[in-house]
A and B are shown apart, each in its own frame.
Chain A
C-alpha cells in the first residue's frame, strides 16, 4: 500500500463526507488573515520606510572623508542603486562689506533621491523641485535672506565665485535632524564647487554620499560597506537620523505585529480545536484500519499525509485569497493613504505557506498523531481511547514550533515574549480557573430549574472537555478584546500624545534680551508658545582630561556633535517623557553641583559612561561636569528635548540663549519670515514635515488595525464554532436521548442556552482578565504608553463573550433540536 496515496484518496472521500471542511476552513481563514495582514503590513512598512526616506532625501547616506572612489560607485551601481553626492562645509558668504557664516551644500543633478525640495522664487508660494540650482546660481534659506537683508536676484560671493540668488528654500528634506544646524543655508550646483576654491586638501568637508533603491539592494550595500571599513556611525538612515520618526515607526510596526500575532494565534486555536475534533471522530476509523491490518506507521502516514495535503491546499487557497483581500482593501483606502503604497514583497506568500504548514503541524499534529495510538481493541470495546506516552513530547515540539514562529513573525523580542508568555499564562490561568469554577457550579446547580440543571450538568459532566472549551473560548475572547478594547486604548494613548496643536516649530538662539519680544510677537500672531527654556552653548574640550579632537571620531553623528557647540539646558526635575536608564536624578542640594544627565544614544556615540568627567568651554571660561545619569528620551512627543541637562543652578551666570517650541498652521509661513526679519539671529527649525509623516503613519496604522480586526473577528468566530463543534456529537446523543424520554423542545433549548451562556460568561470573564493583564504589560513594557484599566473591557468581555458564545453555540446545536430523536440516534450510531 502507498499510504500517501491512501491519504489523498481518503481525504477526497472525507471531503465528500464533509467533516474535514471545518479544518480546511479554519486553515483558509488563518492563512488568508495572515497573508493579507502580512502583505499589508509589508506594504505599509515599505511605505513607512519610503516616507522616512523623504526625511533624509535618500534611503541610505554614507558619510565619507573624501568623494566615493570608482570601487564604491561600482558597488552601488552593481546593486542597481541610484546615488549622488552632497558636499557640505562651512564658509563665509560675502556681500559688499557684509559677511555671514553659512552652511554651504553643493549637490548633483540627482539630488534629492527621495522627496522633493521646495523653493520659492521670491513671491508667495513655493514649487517642489528636483535637482540642483543652475550653474552660477544659488538657493538660500529664509534665515540668510533675513540676516543679510537681501532678496532673490541679488548676488552673493562664496570664495572666488559670485552667485545669483535664484530662489529661497522653504523646505529641505534632509535638513534639521539631530542637533541644531545654526548657520543659514546656501545651496549650489556641484559643478560650481571647484571654481569657488573652498574645497581642497585640509579643508573640513562632509561628503554625504546618498543612495536609493530597492530594500534588498540597500541592505546588501549596507552590509558591504560595513565589511569594507565603513563604521556603523558613518551610515545614516531614517532610523538613526530621525529619532522622532523612528519611535513612531517602531510603535506603528509593533501595533501591526501585535494584531498579526493575535489573529494567527486565534486561527491557530481554531485549527487546533478543529483537528482535535476531526481526530476524535477518527478514533473508530483508526481502530478499524488497525484491525484490518494497518500498521502504526501506516496510520501516521495516512493522517499526517492528510494534514500535509490539507495545509498545502489551505495554504495556497488562503495565500491567494489573502493577496486578493489586501489588494481589495488597498483600493478601498482613502486616496490620501493609498498613494505610493509599494507592491508587497514575496515574503507574505512565503509566510502564508509556512504558516499554514506550521499551524497545522504545531496546532494539529498532536491531535492527529494520537490516532496511531488508538488500539485495535476499540472495535470491540469502544471506550478504549489512545494511550499517549509520546504525545507529550509532541506537544513540546509543537510549542517549540509555535514559539519559533511567533518570534519570526513578531521581529520584536519583547512583543513576542509578551504574546507567548501571555498566552501560556492565560492557558494555565484559564485551565485552573475553569476547573475550579466548574466544580463550584456543580455544587450550586441543585437549586436551579430543570433546564439550567441539565445545561450546567452537561458542563460539569464533561469536565475535561469543558475546561478545554473554556480555555479555547477564553483565548478567543482574550484575542478579540486585545484587538478591540486594549488596542483602541493603547492607540488612543499614543494618539493623545500628538494633539492637533503639537509644536511644529522650534525657535533656538533667542537672546536673553529678546525673550519678551519673541513671546509677544508670537502671541500677537496667534501662536501658542510653550515656556522658553534657557540653554548655554558650550564646546566639549576634554573627556576625563583627554583633549577632544573631532578627527578622533568617525564621520557621522559623533563627529558632528564634537565639532559643534553643545546645547546644555538645566532642569530641576526629570522631564515627563524622559526615563532614567542609569544613575539617579539630582536632589535640591545638588542643584549647583558639577553634574550632567546624558541621553543614552548620545552617550553611546561619544563613548561616555557613568562618572566620566566632561570639560566644556564657553568663551574663555571652562567648567567640568560628571556624568550623573543616563536618560532615554521619547522623541516622538515633539516637545523640546536635550541630549545634555545640568542641575538648575550650575550655569546661572554663563551667557544664555533660549529655546522654545510652538504650533503654527502650515499656511502661516509668513509669521516665521517676519519673525526672522525682526530677530535675525533667531533660528527656526521646522519639524512640520516629520510631524506630518508621523501623523500619516499613525493614520495608516490605525486604518490597518481596523482591517486586521475583521480577520481576527473571523478567526475568533471560527474558534467559537470549532470549540462548540468538538462536543457536538456527544451533545447530539444527549439531546436525542432526552427527546426520546419526552423532553420538550423548549426545555432543550433552555438547557442548551444555559449551558452556552455559562460557558460564555466563564470564558468572557477569564478572557477579560487575561486581556487586561497582557494589555497592561504591553503598554508598560512594549509600547511605552501609560495604561488605563477600562471598565469597558470587562463589560465587553462578559456580556459580549457570554451573549456571543451563547448565540453561536445555540445556533450550531439548533439542527439537533429540530431533528427527530430517531434521526439523531441513527446518525450518531
Chain B
C-alpha cells in the first residue's frame, strides 16, 4: 500500500499480541497495514473476537501495538508518550462507543462540555448547547444519563464526539446497544454530521448494513484484514 498526501490515518505492519491464559502468545491483530484518506468513511466489519475493537484502539492511540507503527494526522504515534497521545486526541479525535461512556454524574450538557474544557476552549457551555441542539436534545440539556433512553444517551455521546470538531471520528459499534429503529436513526445522525463536518469516520461494527453505508469497508478475521467490496 502506498502512502498518499491525503492519508489521515495510516498503519503499517501492525501487530498486537497478548498472552493467552494458557501462556501461549495470541495475536489479536496480525500484521495489518492500511491507509484512510481525509474525509473518507471506513467500516471495519467482522464477527465478535475478530480483533476489530483492538485495531480501533491501536489506530486511535488508546493502546500501543506490539509491533508496527500508526500515523494519526501525520503524527507517528510511537514517537509520543501517553500524554502526548492524549493531547493529540483532545485536539483531533472524537469517539463514539457501544456503551455510550457518558459520565453518569454529569448532565447531558456537561458531558458535551467535557472535551471542550479539556481542550481549553472558551464558551464551552454555549458550544456544547449548540451541539446538543444539532442532535435534537437541546431541551434535555439538564438531564442526567440515567434519565435518558439508550438512543438519547448515544445522541449525547455523538454530540460530545463532534464538540471539538475533530478531524477523525472513531466509532466502536455505535448502534450495538440499540434496537434496529433507534440504531438506524443514530446512524443517520452520525453520517449526517460526518458529512457536514467533513470528518474522517472509522467505524467498527458487526452490522453489515451499517458497514454498507460507509465509503469503504474492511473485513477482519482472525486478526487479519482485507478490503471488502463496497
Contacts and interface: CB of A to CB of B under 8 A. Distances in A.
**Chain A bound to chain B:** yes
Interface of A: 1-2, 6, 9-10, 13-14, 16-17, 19, 284-285, 288-298, 375-377, 379-380, 826-827, 829
Given A292-B114, A293-B90, A379-B95, A17 B101 contact: no
Contact of B118 (A293, A297, A377, A380): A293
Interface stretch (B40-48, B79-87, B181-189): B79-87
7 contacts: A13-B110, A292-B89, A292-B95, A293-B88, A293-B119, A298-B86, A376-B62
Given A1-B118, A1-B119, A289-B114, A294 B63 contact: no
B105 A292 contact: no
Contact of A292 (B83, B110, B118, B120): B118
Nearest to A287: B101
Nearest to B115: A292
B7 interface: no
Contacts of B63: 375-377
A692 B82 CA distance: 70
Contact of B89 (A6, A285, A291, A296): A291
Nearest to B114: A292
A829 B153 CA distance: 12
B174 to A, nearest CB: 13
Contacts of A19: 105
B159 interface: no
A827 B146 contact: yes
B170 to A, nearest CB: 10
Nearest to B92: A293
B168 interface: no
Contacts of A293: 86-91, 93, 115, 118-119
Contacts of A298: 86, 118
Contacts of B91: 293
B38 interface: no
Contact of B86 (A2, A6, A16, A294): A294
Contacts of B50: none
Contacts of A6: 117-118
Contacts of A826: 146
Q: Interface on chain A toward B: helix, strand, loop, or mixed SS?
A: helix
B23 to A, nearest CB: 19
Contact of A284 (B56, B101, B160): B101
B103 interface: yes
A380 B56 contact: yes
A287 to B, nearest CB: 8
A156 B95 CA distance: 105
A377 B104 contact: no
Contact of B97 (A289, A377, A379): A379
Contacts of A14: 105
Contacts of A291: 62, 89, 95, 101
B144 interface: yes
B175 interface: no
B105 A1 contact: no
Contacts of B32: none
B69 interface: no
A380 B90 contact: no
B172 A380 contact: yes
Contacts of A375: 62-63
Interface string B50-77: 0001101100001100000000000000
Interface string B105-127: 11100100011011110000000
B151 to A, nearest CB: 14
B169 to A, nearest CB: 13
A409 B4 CA distance: 69
A290 B88 CA distance: 11
A380 B53 contact: yes
Contacts of B86: 290, 293-296, 298, 376
Given A17-B144, A291-B89, A296 B83 contact: yes
B179 to A, nearest CB: 16
A294 B62 contact: no
Contacts of A290: 86
A294 B118 CA distance: 6
A827 B104 CA distance: 10
A294 B89 CA distance: 9
Give me the 7 closest cross-chain CB pairs, A-B, nearest first: A293-B90, A17-B105, A295-B83, A293-B89, A1-B120, A292-B115, A376-B62
Contacts of B115: 292-293
B116 to A, nearest CB: 9
Contacts of A297: 83
Contacts of A1: 117-120
A16 B107 CA distance: 10
A377 B62 contact: yes
A14 to B, nearest CB: 5
Interface in B132-158: 144, 146
B140 to A, nearest CB: 16
B153 to A, nearest CB: 10
A117 B86 CA distance: 79
Contacts of B107: 13
- Residue of A2, A292, A296, A826 with highest tally of chain B CB at under 10 A: A292
A292 B90 contact: yes
Contacts of A292: 89-90, 95, 114-115, 118, 160
Nearest to B99: A829
A13 B105 contact: yes
A16 B105 contact: yes
Given A379-B97, A380-B172, A294 B90 contact: yes
A19 B105 CA distance: 9
A293 B114 CA distance: 10
A377 B87 contact: no
A13 B83 contact: no
A279 B164 CA distance: 27
Nearest to B120: A1
B125 to A, nearest CB: 11
B60 to A, nearest CB: 8
A586 B117 CA distance: 82
Nearest to B54: A380
B62 A285 contact: no
Contacts of B146: 826-827
A822 B146 CA distance: 13
A390 B65 CA distance: 24
Contact of B103 (A285, A296, A829): A285
Nearest to A17: B105
A288 B62 contact: no
A379 B101 CA distance: 7
Nearest to B97: A379
Nearest to A290: B86
A23 to B, nearest CB: 14
A451 B201 CA distance: 51
Contacts of A829: 99
A291 B104 CA distance: 16
A376 B85 CA distance: 11
A376 B83 CA distance: 11
A826 B63 CA distance: 29
Interface in B180-205: none
A380 B62 CA distance: 9
B117 A288 contact: no
Contacts of A2: 120
A2 B122 CA distance: 11
Contacts of B114: 289, 292
Contacts of B118: 1, 6, 289, 292-294, 298
A380 B105 contact: no
A380 B57 contact: yes
A19 B117 CA distance: 22
